[in-house]
Amino acid sequence: MIEAVIFDLDGVLLESEQVWDEAREELTKELGGRWHDRAQRDMMGMSSLEWSRYMHDDLGIRLPPEEISAEVVGRLGRLYRESLPLLPGARAAVERLADRWPLGLASSSNRPIIELVLDLAGFADRFRVVVSSEEAARGKPAPDVYLEAARRLDAEPSKCAAIEDSENGLLAARAARMRVIAIPNRAFPPRDEALAAADVVLDSLSELTPEIIEPADV
């Protein structure tokens, strides 16, 4: 029996991976770093501590990692206040599932960004628990952020459903032994081996119903 549902944020409720990518790329080029085609995929799922260190070490930005993180977060905050890129069906999906289960959020975004998004979207009171991977020892694909969300929800990980879009997120949720619902990111689709970690693959949030979370025959 499912005890709780845990959402990812970027790519699941928010069409934001491209926004993160553009902010990081712009900053890298402005500061004389070395952006490359693998950078976005490499950083997907990393915690802020991990991706800011990656931008410092691998992309050659000379600012300290904590300043890199703060600059990227500041740029995103300004963009989100101008126009929040909620995915179609996000609000309805959250409401449908919140009426039946306690909800958690397990995101690789920095906590200030998560809280800003939830406030702007009007979701803050629908999520009982919010965990940023900067609060966990390791970012995705490690399971830490999902395990911490389950702990705070007082739920067994094996009795939680995770909603994910990305390769690292799918692997993280599977490693946490959760029921994994994939809504693949169209801009950065997960590879087949990561998609195979999902119990169910959906095309959109409109298909995310209580019956998908907990089928009658489970």
In whole angstroms, give the CA distance from residue 103 to residue 217.
Answer: 23
pLDDT in tens, 9-27: 999 999 998 888 889 999 9
pLDDT in tens, 84-105: 999 999 999 999 999 999 999 9
Answer whether the bond into residue 88 is a cis peptide, omega within 30°: no
| CATH T-level assignment (fold) for domain 17-82 | DNA polymerase; domain 1 (1.10.150)
**Which DSSP category does 216 fall into?**
T
pLDDT in tens, 115-141: 999 999 999 999 999 999 889 989 899
Q: In the Cβ-directed half-sphere of 151, how many Cα atoms lie within 13 Å?
A: 9
For residue 203, is pLDDT > 90? yes
pLDDT in tens, 27-67: 999 999 999 988 988 888 788 889 999 999 999 999 999 99
**218 falls in which pLDDT band (50, 70, 90)?**
low
The pair of structure tokens assigned to 138 is: 């390791």
Percentage with pLDDT > 90 across the chain: 83
**Which DSSP category does 2 fall into?**
-
Sketch the domain layout of the chain as residue ranges.
4-15+85-213, 17-82
The pair of structure tokens assigned to 186 is: 């169209």
Q: What does the pLDDT read at residue 161?
A: 98
Which architecture characterizes domain 4-15+85-213 according to CATH? 3-Layer(aba) Sandwich (3.40)
Sign of CA dihedral 144, 148, 149, 150: positive
Over residues 196-216, mean pLDDT: 96
Domains 4-15+85-213 and 17-82 share a fold: no
Instruction: Just list the catalytic residues.
Output: 8, 10
